[in-house]
Amino acid sequence: MADIKKLDLKSKNITEEQKAKLEELFPEVLTEGKIDFEKLRLTLGDEIDEGEERFGMTWPGKRDCFKVIQEPSIGTLKPCRDESVDFDTTDNLFIEGDNLEVLKLLQKSYYGKVKMIYIDPPYNTGNEFIYPDKYSESLETYLAYTGQVDDEGRKFSTNTEADGRFHSKWLNMMYPRLFLAKNLLRDDGVIFISIDDNEVHNLRMIMNEVFGEENFVANFPRITKKAGKTSDLVSKNNDSILCFRKSDNCKFNSYTLSDEGYKYSDEYVATRGQYKLSQTLDYGSIQYSPSLDYEIEFEDEIFRPGGVTREQMKKRRKRNPSSDFCWRWSKALYKFGLEKGFIVLKESKNGERLYTKTYKNATISKNENGYLIEEQERTKLTTTLDFIENKYSNDNSRKELDRIFDKKVFEYSKPSSIIKTLSFLSTNNRDIILDFFAGSATTAHAVLDLNKEDNGNRKFIMVQLPKPCNEKSEAFKAGYSTIADIGKERIRRVIKKINKEKEGALDFGDSKQDIGFKVFKLNKSNFKIWDGDVEEKPIHEQLEFAIDHIDPNSKEDDILYEILLKSGFELTTPIEEITLEGKRVYSVAEGALLICLEMNLTKELIRAIAKMEPQRVVCLDSGFEGNDQLKTNAVQIMKTFDVESFRTV
């Protein structure tokens, strides 16, 4: 009998992925699928460092970080239609669950697809983040933590300043998540991380290790508040946003200059726009150069830099060698600028002076053939001081949340203006933006607002642990039992506000803006998976599970989306329900994958599925009801119609 291969229900195997990369670069170092480190050493030759001392960062528990990364997830993400908005049409996601498990589950579907990541992780100021006690119990611990299974001693722990491994525990929490997050970034992707002085130095070190020191972009200081005492010596009124790129293919968008200061017009206004007079031609900001010290004849007058003669300049430089009056432009550039209207004579407090015109939409540039005018909208780059304005402070984030909820439901969020600015700089129309420490979903708010402003269609993926709200808090009293509940409600309210604005506006730009979101929740797999641990689960128990391996509590939607996710399709991939031979079949991505969850499969149904010529087909193993002959025929039928992959689950 021809065997039908089983669908792999585990998350992407990171070890195999890394090994494949090594094999691509050094195929000679793999023997029968194993890495021959002696061959690798010989291949690299002198590049191998065999000394005991080398620069790097280590801490207690770092070895286990790699075990965490390599341990696959066997969980799933179950759809929650009743908590979503426009579930069937939206491409935005809110995932409720432990972000480590979720990042693992997203590896197959979103590997190399995310353009920007923004996270605001715990600052590690004491007793503020939770993590599983044992790396191998992440999913089970999460299910116990959220009351979905009995707590058999598994629990989440908090990190306190009294803990002897205070910093180490924070690093053990962050390192695997950053490693997995990097995999999700596109080659031209970028990550921004908010952090304060408690861990900024450690974060920079592990980011250097994960992303490469050469991919550090900037450390943006961000104002937290304008005033207020925070210590006895110095008031600390800023934190930081660390920025790293995936590779040097990363590019930022530029700001369009405002019209401020561009108040003059001339005969070139139609093509160059208005201009401003920002500097005199002899503005004293450069080192003196004899080649830039020349006379200019303009409108029958002779001008010299600084309004002094050459003899006066010589005397002045004898008294003060730092005297630097000279023209900013060379003779050749001045001649070109004069001919093209870039020079104007204006009265100043020191008499008439020559000024250069700065046009809003034109600049002078130079190539191998000489000077030329580039007529295009002038832009400016972002700077590391862009976030010191008060609009980016914590005070504004509190006011923003209070306006949305009419009460204080969340502390320590960032204002959406920060993430909106970062999203503008690093993303374009249909890019995906990920935040796996979503909190109150500020990032989703920012993405929706930015899309509204520029008619973009960026997509967000929010991931948030359902951390319980304190029963004495305003949030709990208002009906929000977890932080994830606050985030979901914030998105709903922002969507409601945008819809209301659209109703009252004559022109609201692109009416096709995606203002919905799908909600998924982390849970155990819908299928009972053989785990091989005979000490914890004896073989006879696992064989009993295999008899009926589908969780009886699972809905068809749950099974459908687990197959979608484990098959490497995005959770927002279009799904169409069709009927073949009287049975329901799901067509994914316009027929690229066909999924049939029906029992009592028939040869006619298998043939009808195969005739649609999908790339992949997945059926329930129980649909064959032990009919080995039908299984054999199914394999042959799929081969006849060149179906690339036929799997059962």
pLDDT at 547 (0 to 100): 61
Lowest-pLDDT choice from 293-297, 462-466, 580-584: 293-297
Q: Give the start-to-end residue ranges of the domains of the chain.
A: 5-68, 69-254+383-523, 257-380, 526-648
- CA 319-320-326 angle, 5° bins: 120
Question: If residue 94 lies in a helix (H) or strand (E), which one and from where to where?
Answer: strand 93-96
Which pairing describes strands 34-35 and 30-31: parallel, antiparallel, or unpaired?
Answer: antiparallel
Beta bridge partners of 298: 301
Which of 592, 573, 579, 599 has the alpha carbon at shortest distance from 645?
592
pLDDT of the residue at 243: 98
CATH superfamily of 69-254+383-523: Vaccinia Virus protein VP39 (3.40.50.150)
In this chain, the answer to whether the domains covering 69-254+383-523 and 526-648 adopt an identical fold is: no
To the nearest whole number, what is the mean pLDDT of the chain?
86
Q: What is the pLDDT of residues 621-632, one digit of tens each?
A: 999 987 889 999
Res 320 pLDDT > 60: no
Q: Which CATH class is domain 526-648?
A: alpha beta
Burial of 415 (0-12, 13-18, 19+ CB in 10 A): buried
User: Facing residues of 429 across strands?
Assistant: none
pLDDT tens track for 199-208: 999 999 999 9
Beta-carbon count within 10 A of 372 CB: 13
Q: What is the pTM of this model?
A: 0.84
Most confident of 249-258, 316-325, 609-618: 609-618
Q: Kindly list the distances between the CA atom of residue 157 and the CA atoms of 133, 141, 163, 239, 588, in Å, as whole numbers in the listed order.
A: 6, 10, 11, 26, 41
Residue scoring higher pLDDT (505 or 559): 559
Q: pLDDT (tens digit, 9 = 90+) per residue, 568-592?
A: 999 999 999 999 999 999 999 999 9
